[in-house]
Amino acid sequence: MAYTFNFPDVGEGIHEGRVVEWLVSAGDSVSEDQPLLKVETDKAVVELPSPKAGMVLELHATSDATIEVGDPLVTIGQTGETTPATAGGVRPAPSTLRLAPKVEAPGSAPVAARRPLATPRTRARARELGVDLTAVRGSGPGGRITDDDVKRASTTSNAPAVEPVRQPRTMPAAVAETIADGEVERVPVSHLRKVIANAMRTSKQTSAHVTHVDEADVTELVEHYRTVKAAVEAEGGRFTLLPFFVKALVTVLKRYPIFNASVDEERQEILLKKTYNIGIAVDTPDGLIVPVIRNADRKDMVELAAEIGDLADRARLRQLRLDELRGGTCTITNIGPLGGIFATPIINQPELAIVGLHRIQERPVVIDGEVAVRKMMYLSVSFDHRWIDGADGARFMSDLVRLLSKPGLLMARL
């Protein structure tokens, strides 16, 4: 008997999605668990597998269709069967399948599907040297652009120095229009941007945001990092500064568990988490995505570096699984490579705090009455002042700064 597969409840409060791509067509034979289509949800782009084997009799949604949980996706049966009016649920009229607006600007150039793969440090280096990463072929794993690739691109170019090239975000095609105020472009809001907008609004309306800022002398940390990086990369691995910050954050979270918590407001209870799942905010061409490093306290620096790099790469390609985006207990956002002095990050609900890492730069400081040039950086923590007092925010940040300024203390606690 023919069976209609409806858009399932994938959890995490997800109620709708957008059909990105069909991987099968009507008339195709499919096996059980074979991917049928890709759907963009509030969290990620996921593949939905076939619940049973058979022949695809009918596709009920087109590409770009917005679908709700329970809407029919595909009917599967045997050769010669016809599609029933109802199978596996009531089939709504075609008009209930809402199509996302899709407009094209006549003569416009196609928008890049993804930006080049490179670490934040490499991107910063490219900006300094005026190198356009879209014109650089990466020699690293998976086509990743390395510092050496950027250096070669810079030295082989005979063009004069130019302003740093900033990678544009992937935007839907726009159409020009003239209104009373003049010419404008109407650009459809992407599904992910709607999700981000709703999350930001909800967070600001829910939490009483307070941001505490401090600075750390990371001269010794950078020196230690360079030593470890050379050793790891000599064995073919990858390593960044971020694992040091993850480990330092976990150490401080254990001392101040309220920063690794959420609140059950209905029962008026604070949930102090006993796991340390650190979210890492990743800047992608489509918008901010936060994959989660699970059990960060149980992983060494090299494991953390590899996992962070892998998650960031797949976040930019929209290839993360839903379970890799769930269950965060505290988040880090690394703003430093993009410039600026410091920022006030917005809390990633339902967490109670988010730590911002800012630019490392050499500055003169006074040490024992003498001026010395040191590598300094600002750190910030935004927290929910309803549940966390300002004094605890100051203590939390003071301990984090102390660990980062004296990496020997951090190493002793790993």
User: Which residues are known to be catalytic?
Assistant: 385
Q: Token digits for 140?
A: 């690293």
At which residue do the structure tokens 């918590």 appear? 261
> Phi/psi zone of residue 177: left (φ > 0), alpha (ψ -120 to 50 degrees), beta?
beta
Q: How many of the other CB atoms lie within 10 Å of CB of 84?
A: 15
Contacts of 25 (CB under 8 A, 6+ apart): 56, 59
**CA within 13 Å, CB half, 5:** 23
Amino acid residing at 10: V
User: In degrees rounded to 5, what are phi and psi of residue 70?
Assistant: 100, -15
> Phi/psi zone of residue 12: left (φ > 0), alpha (ψ -120 to 50 degrees), beta?
left
What is the rounded distance in angstroms from the CA atom of residue 289 to the CA atom of residue 270?
26
DSSP character for 95? G
Q: Token digits for 132?
A: 């356009």
What is the rounded distance in angstroms from the CA atom of residue 348 to the CA atom of residue 176?
35
C-alpha 83, offset from chain centre? 40
